[in-house]
Structure 1
Amino acid sequence: MTLAHTGEFGLIERVVERLSVPLAGGAGVDMLLGPGDDAAVVRAPDGRVVACTDVLVEGRHFRRDWSSPLDVGHRAAAANLADIAAMGARPTGLLVGLCAPKDLPVAWAEEFSLGLAEEAASVGAAVVGGDTVASPVLTIAVTALGDLENRAPVTRAGARPGDIIALAGRLGWAAAGYTILSRGFRSPGLLVNAFRRPEVPYAAGILAAQLGATSMIDTSDGLIADAGHIAKASGVRLDLRRSYFELPTQMADSANALGVDPYEWILTGGEDHALVATFPPDVMLGGAWREIGVVREGEGVTVDGAKWTSAAAGWDHFRTDVG
């Protein structure tokens, strides 16, 4: 059965049925009114709402022959929830626009919706509404909402010389998985699955805010590229230390087999959605946070004091394709 058989409202009914997923730890949802009316109503206890949006296009961000619809749902939600976490906020809700070909199987849309709901539920959030429309290209637009819980937002503009640069999460895994898939392979599964479905350290965002992080960002486009946004906004130089990055055995072996420098994946590969933040030098890092460099006077991003000379600096939405 395809979307042409169910029609828009039949699809919406099927999708909504799959959005009720038990929340992690039995956490409450801020959704006061969900799908089914002209708009959703979401509680905003702080009085401020953190909001972001992201678009995934088939052929540029995902391929149906590489990823299951469940994986795509998790990935679409994670890309937005990570941005909320990077502001030091707690995610509360997702709004989803699904633009799909009429011949898309209904089962694909149903499983995709379940992936969205599961990822949102893992952080105590929910899919609160959205829209569907026919389109020749499968396109997914997600808007995420979050609550600052009376904390100041952690922006890109507060890093100061002498601050510690720290990382929470994995780097290079998704890029390694992409390279493996693009060469026609399907293993090692650990790396391939990292591309299909990122593991985001959501809780680290709130912890960073509580520890007094001076700046923070989600590394969706690659460490050097995204660290560069902090450097520019803060008017400083971020100096990364290559020795601080672990090189997992499977990544090292895969890089050797494919003839790739694994540090290209770590320093320039995107889609892992790790968090990078800067902290005052006297802060004791905790939880998932670990030091990877130091903020200095100057501009841009350096690795061991020198500019990274690779041609690749990170993901560029107008130059890079998945397929």
Structure 2
Amino acid sequence: MSIAEAGEFGLIARVVARLETGPTTLLGPGDDSAIVAAPDGRIVASTDVLVEGRHFRRDWSGATDVGHRAAAANLADIAAMGAKPTALLVALCAPPDMDITWAEDLASGLSAEASLVGASVVGGDMSSSPTLTIAVTALGDLGGQAPVVRSGAQPGDVIALAGRLGYAAAGYTVLSRGFRTPKALVEAYRRPSVPYEAGPAAARAGATSMIDISDGLLQDIGHIAKASIVGLDIHSGAFEVPDQMRDAAQALGVDPMQWLLGGGDDHALAATFPAQTPLPDGWRPIGRVHEGTGVTVDQKPWSGPLGWDHFR
């Protein structure tokens, strides 16, 4: 059955049937608005959009994977503020002739990823469009903690990382060259593995700044450098290239450090901590903050790609 055959309200009914309700949802889909608990009294909000052909391809990723990925991109932003995600709002614009099961599987992926952090999809909107587009807004709760913003890094701070880098970028390169293996890299592109709990843990440990690595490590921590008016130096020796990534890079003629330092979509978290602060579990040091501006690698400018830019 196509979406056109099911109709708008038939589609909504099928999608809502795939959604789970999290503990912070007081009123879910079905009314003019949802109601989400906000115990802290402050709501953290972030939004992102995925456009077919620009952010994903249906011949590369299944609908469930796209749902996981769309949710993860927003939930990671909430975690990067030191907050716990509570809810997602999703807008779907789809071609009328698209099979309705694709939208159902998308909803399953969105709901499953949200459930990893106790959040749920609480509402959204749908429209017909020649271009398949998914827009997601995430909400979160700070739990009494101060938000960890980009502008707090200080000279002498340690730069630390939680999560993995380079896997999704390597998977994208593999797929773009027409291959489907190594599976670990391809699956990382299709469905990120995000260290959600590392964000609130960093906030509790006294992180001075934090950011989600969605577009590439060097580009994203450059936002910290600019907002904090400091320089950041990354130590290349802090990164170990996994065997599968090294083998794929050799086969494809790519420097794997380009994936690690300039690749996005893994949604790792980068943060800065005072030098004497013990790093929380799951965090590892990768560099230092110093007086100055910009981002360097081993105290030198990086000549490779910095990261993703939608308009470049």
Q: Which amino acid aligns with 1:192?
A: V
Once the 2 structures are TM-superposed, how far is the Cα of residue 264 of structure 1 from its aligned partner? 0.2
Question: In structure 1, how many angstroms separate the alpha carbons of the residues matched to 2:185 and 2:81?
Answer: 27
Q: Secondary structure at the match of 1:137?
A: coil
Q: Among 295, 304, 315, which residue is 2:308 paired with?
A: 315
CA distance in 2, matches of 1:270, 1:294: 21
> What's the CA shift for 1:313?
1.3
Q: Distance in 1 between matches of 2:69 and 2:281?
A: 24
**TM-score, normalization: structure 1?**
0.96
CA distance in 1, matches of 2:275, 2:233: 14
Deviation (angstroms), 1:222? 0.2
Residue pairs, 1:64-103, within 5 angstroms: 64-103=58-97
CA distance in 1, matches of 2:91, 2:130: 15
Alpha-carbon separation, structure 2, partners of 1:246 and 1:56: 31
Partners of 1:20 and 1:11 in 2: CA distance: 17
**Cα deviation code 1:197-250 (max 9, x no counterpart):** 000000000100000000000000000000100000000011000000111000
37, 51, 57: which one aligns with 2:45: 51
For residue 53 of structure 1, what is the amino acid of its counterpart?
T
Q: Letter of the 2:123 partner, please give it.
A: G
In the alignment, what sits opposite 2:9? Answer: 9
Q: Quote the Cα distance in structure 2 between the aligned partners of 1:232 and 1:286.
A: 25
1:116-127 correspondence runs (5 A) = 116-127=110-121
- Measure the CA separation in 2 of the matches of 1:299 and 1:20: 46
Question: 2: CA distance between counterparts of 1:218 and 1:237?
Answer: 18
Give distance in 1, aligned partners of 2:188 and 2:282.
Answer: 18
1:261 Cα deviation from its structure 2 partner: 0.1
- Separation in structure 1 between the aligned mates of residue 280 and residue 86 of structure 2, nearest angstrom: 25
| 1:17-60 residue CA offsets vs partner (Å, 9 max, x unmatched) | 00027xxxxxx521100000000000110000000000000000
Paired AA for residue 108 in structure 1: W
Residue 241 in structure 1 maps to residue 235 in structure 2: yes
Number of corresponding residues: 312
Alignment partner, residue 282 of structure 1: 276
- Partners of 2:268 and 2:240 in 1: how far apart? 14
Aligned-partner residue type, residue 188 of structure 1: P
Separation (CA, whole Å) in 2 of partners of 1:151 and 1:313: 32
Partner amino acid for 1:237?
G
Distance, in Å, in 2 between the alignment partners of 1:165 and 1:40 is: 38
d(CA) in 2 for partners of 1:112, 1:232: 37
User: Distance between the aligned counterparts of 2:311 and 2:239, measured in 1?
Assistant: 29
Provide the secondary structure at the position in 1 that maps to 2:75.
Answer: helix
Within 1, Cα distance between the matches of 2:141 and 2:150?
Answer: 18
Measure how far apart 1:286 and its partner are: 2.4
Q: Which residue of 2 aligns with 1:212?
A: 206
Give the match's secondary structure for 2:29: coil
Determine the C-alpha separation between the residues in 2 that align with 1:315 and 1:29. Answer: 35
Distance (whole Å) between structure 2 residues aligned to residue 193 and residue 82 of structure 1: 18
Root-mean-square deviation (Å): 0.7
How far 1:129 sits from its partner (Å)? 0.4
SS of aligned partner of 1:317: coil
Aligned to 1:24: none
| DSSP-derived class of the 1:157 partner | helix
The letter of the residue matching 1:86 is A
Q: Deviation above 4 Å: which 4+ runs of structure 1?
A: none
Q: What is the DSSP-based 3-state SS (H/G/I as helix, E as strand, rest coil) of the residue aligned with 2:251?
A: helix
